[in-house]
Chain A
């Protein structure tokens, strides 16, 4: 039995490109459609090949000026019959989400923390050559203070970018990477405001000596706020692709 692997949702769509290797199908209910393919593990040997094919397909979709809500991570349903029920169940969430991102694209950038020094000091190294318990705790304290300083600084950078770009953005998403070495930012930009946004973004990036560190336009991956995921997925490992563990 074919178990549909979900790729995303579209609204008011009647047709879209579908060609090998990623043969995409669509199931509709009213104005909403869910787009899906059969299990990628049956088609692609490597996960990366699937991801590339999917991004290429999303790129083609973008040229059609469709608003697509991409699904961030692997989801499937037990059979095609469930898809209509899925659309019915999530109708309200889909409408809210489409209304938010309709006519918008996402742009991403990474800002390196040039003053990043402390993050290189590993937590376990705090105990090296320590002469006393008090000294160890002092080191832990200093580490905490430095982390706090780095986080505050990162928040300042995020705030600076967002304030300057406010006239052109609908929403933003930010993330400080684990070692606080990089700040990842995504902006939801109305398509009609793209030129102004890009111009100001490049000005900002020039100011931090990172003129080419942006990508886009993307589908609004970071702004499709509803989740189809059961919480168990959060601790679910999705390795073993290359071992060909087929589950469909």
Chain B
């Protein structure tokens, strides 16, 4: 019975203070499907990267890793960081583009 309308609006955005949040939802129109898909995939990879980095810090704080292991892990994350920057540039995406608007739940990141 109830459907979404293409005219979907978020009044909160309209009344909340005149400053638009730059984060949008995934744009999956036919015209730019590649970029929309890349944005979605890179957003998920970015989320996983940040979760893994968080977990890495937790493990370091736990004191179970050697200096060598910490250095190796840091280098891996650094390479992933650089690769993500490279991928974003390929698809013409900015860092703030890698996010998802989850409506009332806020943004993914």
B51 interface hit (Cβ, 8 Å): no
B 16-43 binary contact with A (CB < 8 Å = 1; else 0): 1101011111111100000000000000
CB contacts under 8 Å to B, within A64-78, are: 70, 72-78
- If A75-B4, A136-B81 touch, whether A51 touches B75 (CB-CB below 8 Å) is no
A30 within 8 A of B: no
Contact of A237 among B26, B70, B104, B106 (CB under 8 A): B26
| Alpha-carbon distance A36/B52, docked complex (angstroms) | 47
Q: List 8 A-B contacts (CB under 8 A).
A: A39-B5, A51-B11, A133-B71, A140-B77, A178-B23, A229-B103, A233-B4, A237-B25
Write the residues of chain B forming the contact surface with A, with a CB cutoff of 8 angstroms: 1-12, 14-17, 19, 21-29, 50, 53-54, 56-57, 60, 67, 70-78, 81-82, 84-85, 88, 95-96, 99-107
Query: Other than the known A75-B3, A241-B6, what 20 A-B pairs have Cβ atoms closer than 8 Å?
Result: A55-B15, A74-B9, A108-B17, A132-B75, A133-B75, A134-B67, A134-B71, A137-B57, A144-B57, A175-B106, A218-B15, A227-B104, A229-B2, A234-B105, A236-B25, A237-B25, A237-B26, A238-B4, A238-B8, A247-B6
